[in-house]
Amino acid sequence: MTAADAHDGLRRLLNEWDPIGVADSVEDEYDCLIAPLLDRLRSGAGRAGPRDFLHHELTGHFGLSRPYDVDGQAVRLVAWWTSTHVREG
């Protein structure tokens, strides 16, 4: 999987999750999350790394008072990463 494939795959997963409900009209709303999440996934952070990052970003950056299922999304992200056997550089 190329870096572009990883970026596109992660964008798709974030847009499917769509915690603020805008993915139908704005394709790149969650792009600010992609690079930091890929860094965490590449480093083998497990579920806690993406979960903690998503919680922080959804409450701080996106202003949600209660992040929408960050633990479940972290599980999906790690499973996707593991199943694609992404190896770069």
Would you give the DSSP letter of residue 88? -
Per-residue pLDDT of the chain (89 residues; tens, 9 = 90+): 788 999 999 999 999 999 988 988 888 999 999 999 999 999 987 899 999 999 999 999 999 987 689 999 999 999 999 998 645 44
**How far, in Å, CA of 20 to CA of 40, rounded?**
22
Would you give the DSSP letter of residue 1? -
**How far, in Å, CA of 23 to CA of 12, rounded?**
10
Q: Give pairs for 43-49: CB < 8 Å, separation 24+.
A: 46/78, 47/71, 47/74, 47/75, 47/78, 48/74
